[in-house]
Structure 1
Amino acid sequence: MSAPARMRTPTRAEVEDLLYLEAELLDTWDLDAWLALYTDDCRYVVPATDTPDGDPSTDLVLVDDDRLRLRLRVERLLSRKAHREYPHSALRHLVTNVRVGASEGGEVEVRASFVVYRSRNGKDTVFVGGYTYRLVEIDGELRVRSKRVVLDMSSLRPANDVAVIL
């Protein structure tokens, strides 16, 4: 990929198209295409439910993945060795309340709310929260430089784990 150009502020419709595509790719388990939406220097963070503002360098977080770790996560989830996700859960990612900030420093901050429904082995779980993205434009396409998933749940007890990509 070439270096990001000076970024214009994308329209909400353009951002929504990217977020809806991401949701569709996750729901259909097209994780290789999903990963292609992310930059080489990407970061995917899910802080612990008791420290939603937690910093991965100093606080315990549920997920702190760079591009390599995301690639390994995708490979594991797509293999038969991922016992928690084989066969795959039925997923439905719902994205709403998309807000696009101003472009600054070659990237734009986007906030959105989400609900993810997961059904597997007769058990249904729901994850609720908010996304914060940092998007860049590379070769005319919006790409995800970072995604922070803050769960609006007092505990993971109802869900038990975060075995899927939120």
Structure 2
Amino acid sequence: MIKTKIDLQQIEAFLYKEARYINDYRFEDWLALFTHDCRYWIPCNENDIDPETHVSIIYDDRKRLEERVWRLQTGLAYGQQPQSKTRHLITNVEIIKDLGEKVIVSSNFLLVELRRGEQTLFTGRNEHHLHVEGNDLKINFKKAELINNNEPLGNLSFIL
């Protein structure tokens, strides 16, 4: 098997950067972390279902991610009036598979959202499929497995 030249420390720094971009409302920078053929998935009810044939909380391609970012930036995401403040905590980062130009990474997350004086906690596991493009890492696939994805979730109009 061919190994990438990307080590765990570089992957952790990349995941922290992604979280920082979201927390700082740098949505264009966040979007630039994704490949053009990406998928962003938050499963509903079960984590290992087929998103093409089952309901998902979110199952976006690049075009849908661009629309999501556009709504957040223009104020047309009415579910984000006022805008949520978030903090993402990333931990337990592991390389699951190293496939040369592609690395599959697992991490746990805790997201704290503050909106209208109420704090809400979201927690779960992220799976990132990272591709090496030149000297950069890009997200080709991101799956956020919420531990409560079979419960009522309320407003998820911010970036998880």
Q: TM-score range by the shorter chain?
A: over 0.9
- Cα offset, 1:101, TM superposition: 2.8
- Cα offset, 1:154, TM superposition: 5.7
2:79·2:155 contact (CA, 8 Å) conserved in 1? no
Matched, 1:81 2:76: yes
Amino acid in the other structure paired with 2:158: V
- Cα offset, 1:161, TM superposition: 2.7
Match of residue 70, structure 1, among 41, 44, 65? 65
- Cα offset, 1:102, TM superposition: 3.4
Aligned sequence identity (%) = 33
- Cα offset, 1:156, TM superposition: 4.0
2:82·2:116 contact (CA, 8 Å) conserved in 1? no
Taking the TM superposition and a 5 Å limit, the aligned residue runs for 1:9-20 are 9-20=5-16
- Cα offset, 1:87, TM superposition: 2.8
How has the CA–CA distance of structure 1 residues 36 and 63 changed in structure 2, closer, same or farther, with 3 Å as cutoff?
same
Q: How many residues align?
A: 159
Distance 2:84 2:109 in 1: 18
Q: Give deviations 1:41-96, integer Å, cap 9, x for gaps.
A: 11100001x21212111111011111100000000112222121133111001100
Taking the TM superposition and a 5 Å limit, the aligned residue runs for 1:33-44 are 33-44=29-40
- Cα offset, 1:9, TM superposition: 5.0
What is aligned with 2:123? Answer: 128
Secondary structure of the residue that 1:93 maps to in structure 2?
Answer: strand
Distance 1:74 1:104 in 2: 30
2:86·2:113 contact (CA, 8 Å) conserved in 1? yes
Secondary structure of the residue that 2:90 maps to in structure 1?
Answer: strand
Q: CA RMSD in A?
A: 1.6
Distance 2:87 2:19 in 1: 8
- State the TM-score, normalized to the length of structure 1: 0.90
Secondary structure of the residue that 1:113 maps to in structure 2?
Answer: strand
Distance 2:9 2:41 in 1: 25
Amino acid in the other structure paired with 2:15: L
What is aligned with 1:58? Answer: 53
Taking the TM superposition and a 5 Å limit, the aligned residue runs for 1:105-124 are 106-124=101-119
Q: Which runs of 5+ in 2 are unaligned?
A: none
What is aligned with 1:163? Answer: 157
